[in-house]
Amino acid sequence: MELSDYHIHSICSEDGHYTMSEIALASYAQGVRRLCFTDHCDLDDYMTGYPKQNSYAHREKTIEMFKQALADKPADMRLFLGMELGEGNHDPARAAEIAASPELDFVLGSLHNLEKKTDFYEIHYESYEQCAQLMDEYADELVALSKLDFYDAMAHIGYTIRYMRRDGFDVSFDLEHFGDKVEATLKNLIAGGRGIEINCSGYRTKRILSPVPGVDILRLYKQLGGEIITVGSDAHRTNQAGKGLAEGLDTLRELGYKYYTVFEKRKPEFIKL
Ligand SMILES: [Zn+2]
Ligand SMILES: [Zn+2]
């Protein structure tokens, strides 16, 4: 089956390592025929959590590199240009301005740090109480982000667990603990015509081995009438390209989803599973 990847990073992201052409060819080798680059555009500095100047300073570089990737790609591969726009709820006006950039086919709305706090990646976790408190604040911010309309799909709901588990805390961002806030988030997204993603990076991570968000949240989204769901590897390296996508599609099928979603010029299209 042909794969689509709507969450992937090149060297246009601070934590990326490969050109778009390299990423595209590595993805193609794994069966990806439709790929949307979603390099980071974070409104906050990841170390401080305070607003960053020139968040989209890499715009020209991104557009140039995308042109090169279009020239280098195999004929039967389709490439799109998207963005992972981080922390839009901390400055909705700025986020809306960036997301309106005409070159974009797709915008992921994501959250990597709480307001005025460092990225969850950078935090050193020391207790279950600390994890629970931070995840509760994270859930509050997701609700705030879910009310904003500048993006197409909310990225990796439950991002926090990647790093809490890295530090040895077996926590879950699930309905049992955060059900009310997650349900409010999903309902806001659905009412606004926005979607979520199934982030497949978790299938590649030893301490997770499941999608982000987890299956319970993916099931609830469908029960609530959610239809827009994109699929992304969140790969940052060529050896991660395409990895986890097939598992993501299997999970969606098992949950009874009939379609997943891709975007072109910010318009959703539904692909049969
Ligand atoms: Zn992210
Ligand atoms: Zn990402």
Specify whether the CB–CB gap between 188 and 146 falls below 8 A.
Answer: yes
Instruction: Say which ligand is closest to the CA of 121.
Output: 1
Q: Which residues of 57-89 are buried (b: 16+ CB within 10 A; e: fewer)?
A: ebbeebeebbeebeeebeeebebbbbbbbbbbb
Q: Where are the domains of the chain?
A: 3-272
72-88 tens-digit pLDDT:
999 999 999 999 999 99
Distance 110 CA to ligand 1 centre (A): 6
Distance 70 CA to ligand 1 centre (A): 24
Q: Which two tokens stand for residue 203?
A: 């299938």
Amino acid at 199: N
Instruction: Say which ligand is closest to the CA of 110.
Output: 1
Distance 110 CA to ligand 2 centre (A): 8
Distance 157 CA to ligand 1 centre (A): 10
Q: Is 90 helix (H, G, I), strand (E, B) or coil?
A: helix
Distance 155 CA to ligand 1 centre (A): 7
Judging by DSSP bridges, how do beta strands 267-272 and 259-264 pair with one another?
A: antiparallel
Listing DSSP states for 179-218 in one string gives HHHHHHHHHHHHHTT-EEEEEGGGGG-TTT-S-BS-HHHH
**Superfamily, domain 3-272:** Metal-dependent hydrolases (3.20.20.140)
CA angle at 105 for the pair 146 and 261, rounded to the nearest 5°: 65
122-143 tens-digit pLDDT:
999 999 999 999 999 999 999 9
pLDDT value for 119 = 97
The segments of the chain whose pLDDT lies below 70 read none
pLDDT value for 1 = 76
Residues in CB range of 67: below 8 A, 6 or more apart:
none
